[in-house]
Structure 1
Amino acid sequence: MKQKALVLDEQAIRRALTRIAHQIIEKNKGIEDCVLVGIRTRGIFLARRLAEKIAEIEGRSITVGELDITLYRDDLTKKSDYPLVKGSDIPVEITDKKVILVDDVLFTGRTVRAGMDAIMDIGRPASIQLAVLADRGHRELPIRADFVGKNIPTSSSEKVVVELMEADNIDQVSIYDL
């Protein structure tokens, strides 16, 4: 793969997350009964960063959980004969809570659908909202993000790659030609 464009650098990612944090607080009229749930792997890192921003703004913390959607994927048998399941960790009861699912890139919508199915198996939230760092379009399911860091129009021959310090030792979002 060849990098075609750098879309977000470290500073732009920080600004996007700050904006998303403010939007989450505004839409929910605070953070009462809200839970951030990051979809493994980079969604977890983004959820933790959003929690830090929200704590700075609100002066109190918001619960953060981790969601493993491996067994909910509709392409599980295509990925591997032996999927690696790391498990979910949501430290509070989510029934009647506003769950904000957090992921790095929204593409076809299938990952989010799997995330919603996993959440519904854990409890019955009052609502599920979606926060993504990048929305690249090309939906296959009727799913839309409530909070978007950056809309990135792409072609189907391109790939959006999110790299985060926690996993990749750099913060950036790039478009690659396949």
Structure 2
Amino acid sequence: MFGLVKNFDVHMCSEVKGVVLLDGKPVTGAVINRSLEFAYKVEKEDVTKTDTDGRFYLPAININSKIPGDMFSQETTSQFITVTYKDETYVLWSINLRGITELVEYKSKLASLNCDLLSSKVHFTIPNLKNRNLDFSGSGICRWEKDFEIYEVDDGIDYFENF
């Protein structure tokens, strides 16, 4: 009962830094949109554009909330980051963050959200450093050299269409 009057610090998203390329060349003026939703109730959205080098930045987002004091709350933040260029929208990062604290695994990936618009959207896993048996999974067109494994390529074909 007392938790309902207490405010909690809730981490919704780490700072985001990245580069958008098209066939290896920087994309200027692409619109980056970040949508966050905590506990299916609190929504935050921000937008930026890529500079002449294709780079972009979005600050970390933290809020104060009474929601974690509710024993029935779902302490999950949906993180969804897209880029729009020439009327096409691409998913850079789509993942759920469980809990109210920043995860170093997500922070690391969001600090280098680099992509080429010609890359296919993939479903991937990144290692969970606290529980090696429970990897985190997400999707997007970004790639990383380490701590990243693709388990499915989203090629737009519905293989179950005729079932």
TM-score interval, normalised by the smaller of the two chains: under 0.3
Using the size of structure 2 for normalisation, the TM-score is 0.25
Q: Which is greater in Rg?
A: 2
Using the size of structure 1 for normalisation, the TM-score is 0.24
Higher relative contact order (CA 8 A, sep 6+): 1
Name the one with the larger strand percent: 2
Name the one with the larger helix percent: 1
